[in-house]
Amino acid sequence: MSSVPSKAMVLAAGLGKRMRPITDTIPKPLVKIAGKPMIDWGLDALADAGVETAVVNVHYLPDQIVAHLASRTKPAIDISDERDALLESGGGIVRALPRLGPAPFFVLNADTFWIDSVDNNLVRLGLAWNDAEMDILLMLARLDQATGHSGGTDFLLASDGRLSRAKGDPRGLIYAGAAIVHPRIFDHAPAGAHSLNAEFDAALATGRLHGMVMDGDWITVGTPDAIAPAEAAVARAVAKPR
């Protein structure tokens, strides 16, 4: 039976090197777009979906993130401290697994976000989850839904929802920085630093990596010059009739 996960992992530990000089003094998740820190766009989406707890990992300028999140009540914030070592996306989740529990959970990047068109995309992701067939379900965006994306495409989506690597194929879709993950995919994962792409590949190899195309507008902010286009995209998306 499909349901919306009650917990989420928010990946906020990165160094944000491409956003320098802004990130010399502020961690990337706290960079504001349209007056709101990027991490709050994702946390607000989680709250709107009914998620109860968000585990947020911190490493670079961690005290700023901890202080910023201290006043949040929805979702409740649980800090996973990585000050001792940057563990990357996969290793950060492995460290946080005891906090996340045995059920499927959301994973969100803290430096990308989206504007829903009508329905909450995280709720849609929860409704699309099929535990018998999936280990990971990725939220995907078409190139024409994306602002600030400078790379190629990531995945090809088959008619049954399974994914394969697009290798830049223009027919492909972009990983939109949100997913549902079952903790069993980490049963054989290393505890040290590694990319979540290793788990994507493990699920792909067994046909258990699936995808869902989001509705609305997806925004990524990789460099300082991407802030203005991102804010323009927010203004356009908010102005659209719903």
Q: What is the pLDDT of residue 237?
A: 81
Domain presence at residue 177: yes
pTM: 0.93
Q: What is the pLDDT of residue 242?
A: 61
User: What does each of the 242 residues of the chain score in pLDDT, given as a tens digit?
Assistant: 457 899 999 999 988 888 899 889 999 999 999 899 999 999 999 999 999 999 999 998 999 999 999 988 899 999 999 998 889 999 999 999 999 999 999 999 998 999 988 889 999 999 999 999 999 999 999 998 988 788 889 999 999 999 999 988 888 999 999 999 999 999 988 888 999 999 999 999 999 999 999 999 999 998 898 898 899 888 888 777 66
Task: Give me 47's structure tokens.
Answer: 């709250």
Which residue range is the domain that position 92 belongs to?
7-239
Which residues, listed in sequence order, are joined to residue 220 by a DSSP beta bridge?
Answer: 112
Task: Give me 158's structure tokens.
Answer: 């088959």
Q: What is the pLDDT of residue 42?
A: 94
Radius of gyration of the chain (CA): 17
Domain presence at residue 1: no
Q: Domain of 97: which CATH number?
A: 3.90.550.10
The answer to whether 13 and 60 are in contact (CB under 8 A) is yes
Split into its structural domains, the chain has a count of: 1
Domain presence at residue 93: yes
Domain presence at residue 2: no
Instruction: Supply φ then ψ for residue 211, to 5 degrees.
Output: -140, 160
Bridge-based pairing of strands 53-58 and 7-11 is parallel
Q: How far apart are CA 107 and CA 136, in angstroms?
A: 10
Q: What is the pLDDT of residue 177?
A: 94
Domain presence at residue 88: yes
Domain presence at residue 163: yes
Instruction: Supply φ then ψ for residue 96, to 5 degrees.
Output: -85, -5
3-state class of 1 per DSSP? coil
* The one-letter amino acid at 57: N
Q: How far apart are CA 117 and CA 115, in angstroms?
A: 6
Task: Give me 127's structure tokens.
Answer: 């409704």
How would you class 73 by CB atoms within 10 Å of its CB: exposed for 0-12, middle for 13-18, buried for 19 or more? Answer: exposed
